[in-house]
């Protein structure tokens, strides 16, 4: 008779199965051996024989090393589960910011007050040469990797996590700084009409495509018959972790499975796109120094900053064009589900939380409309 806790069960094919521990992997996870039998009794006998042949108790290995060693174990585990671009970023951040500060410390010696002081210093003087603090997004990435390493130690080696209960209270800078104002929009769109060489910037502003997706566009991704653009790949410049220095360009799959998408070509871009695609093969890159090599996202970013400077507009990063596109779509009452699919988001909530920034004028108009409906006497 099967007893609770024996870990013996009957499979759908009629055979019996028992699972027993045989050790722990490098990531601290339990390794099991599966023993099969034609009956419950046979499985139980085989299990007893196995335990008799392996009398030593399986003990989870204790980690007593330093933070740098734990980070190396975490990286080994992460390499199996993340994209190359993420893995390269992790190596860069660990070697650049985490190991120099915490590498020689044991996890037991790391205390939350000391960590909080370190975070404050990054906020004030994190940039090279002490030229100001890190942006919210940069600091968040560093802390995500740092906390993941410590959580890995807690989960796999029962090490105390000095950041348990820590809350990142800084407010996200998701305000108007990430969205072009109406004046900036008017100046930029007017300029782009007469700049065919800046078509990639217009694509970002009128479709919300990411910078890497634009750089990776090939002639075969543009269908003029159906007037659509398909996003099938992206371009990254990542830390060259093999050489241990420098960077390299990587052509990869889109950011997520939802980033694979097909969207209509805005009418204003059909003729410019047709002209630039004319004569190219299906695998030729639309933008770039050569048809066989994609445009470097860094080069496109620099080109965008030079354009802003030339037009006398404030400097924002290229991704602000994506935020601006999403915000303008919402202000024009586009269906949020449709917008989410155009942006390649996994959910409508992500679109609302990350990319929609209503301007003060739009907020005022919305409030005025509500008051006109609910309190019409106020208009008298």
Give the chain's mean pLDDT. 84
Per-residue confidence (pLDDT) for residue 13, from 0 to 100:
87
CATH number at residue 145: 1.10.150
Is the residue at 379 inside a domain? no
Q: Could you tell me which residue, 115 or 80, shows the higher pLDDT?
A: 115
pLDDT tens figures, 114-167: 999 998 888 887 665 556 677 777 888 999 999 999 999 888 888 889 988 787
Is the residue at 58 inside a domain? no
> Are both 223 and 336 inside the same structural domain?
yes
> Are both 119 and 186 inside the same structural domain?
no
pLDDT at 173 over 50: no
Per-residue confidence (pLDDT) for residue 175, from 0 to 100:
42
Range 68-81 average pLDDT: 90
Range 328-342 average pLDDT: 89
> Are both 182 and 234 inside the same structural domain?
yes
> Are both 297 and 253 inside the same structural domain?
yes
Is the residue at 304 inside a domain? yes
Q: Which residues sit opposite 231 in a β-bridge?
A: 261
Q: Encode 203-233: b = buried (16+ Cβ within 10 Å), e = exposed.
A: bbbbbbbbbbbbbbbbbebbeeeeeebbbbb
Is the residue at 288 inside a domain? yes
> Are both 152 and 181 inside the same structural domain?
no
Strand-strand pairing, 16-24 and 234-239? unpaired
Per the confidence metrics, is the pTM higher than 0.85?
no
- How far is CA 86 from each of CA 91, 120, 234, 236, 255, rounded to the nearest angstrom? 9, 25, 14, 10, 10
> Domain span at residue 289?
176-363
> Are both 21 and 94 inside the same structural domain?
no
């Amino acid at each position: 008779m099967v007893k609770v806790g024996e870990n013996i069960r009957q499979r759908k094919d009629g055979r019996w199965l028992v699972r027993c521990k045989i050790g722990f992997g490098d990531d601290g996870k339990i390794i099991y051996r599966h023993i099969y039998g034609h009956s419950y009794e046979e499985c139980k006998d085989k299990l007893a024989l196995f335990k008799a042949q392996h009398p030593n108790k399986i003990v989870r290995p204790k980690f007593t090393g330093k933070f740098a060693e734990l980070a190396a174990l975490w990286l080994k585990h992460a390499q199996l589960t993340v994209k190359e671009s993420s893995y390269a970023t992790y190596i860069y951040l660990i070697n650049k910011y985490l190991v120099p500060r915490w590498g020689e410390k044991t996890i037991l010696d790391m205390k939350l007050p000391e960590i909080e002081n370190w975070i404050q210093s990054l906020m004030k003087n994190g940039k090279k040469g002490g030229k100001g603090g890190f942006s919210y997004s940069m600091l968040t990435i560093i802390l995500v990797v740092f906390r993941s390493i410590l959580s890995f130690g807690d989960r796999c080696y029962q090490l105390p996590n000095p950041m348990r209960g820590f809350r990142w209270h800084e407010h996200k800078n998701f305000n108007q700084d990430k969205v072009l104002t109406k004046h900036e929009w008017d100046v930029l769109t007017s300029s782009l009409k007469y700049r065919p060489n800046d078509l990639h910037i217009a694509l970002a502003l009128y479709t919300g495509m990411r910078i890497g997706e634009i750089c990776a566009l090939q002639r075969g991704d543009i269908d003029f018959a159906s007037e659509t653009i398909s996003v099938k790949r992206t371009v990254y410049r990542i830390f060259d972790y093999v050489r241990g220095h420098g960077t390299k360009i990587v052509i990869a799959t889109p950011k997520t499975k939802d980033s694979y998408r097909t969207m209509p070509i805005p009418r204003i871009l059909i003729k410019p796109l047709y002209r630039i695609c004319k004569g190219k093969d299906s695998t030729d890159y639309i933008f770039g120094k050569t048809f066989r090599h994609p445009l470097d996202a860094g080069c496109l970013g620099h080109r965008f900053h030079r354009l802003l400077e030339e037009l006398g507009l404030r400097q924002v990063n290229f991704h602000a064009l994506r935020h601006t596109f999403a915000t303008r779509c919402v202000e024009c009452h586009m269906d949020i589900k449709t917008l989410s699919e155009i942006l390649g988001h996994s959910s409508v909530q992500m679109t609302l939380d990350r990319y929609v920034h209503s301007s003060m004028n739009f907020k005022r108009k919305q409030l005025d409309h509500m008051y006109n409906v609910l309190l019409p006497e106020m208009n008298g």
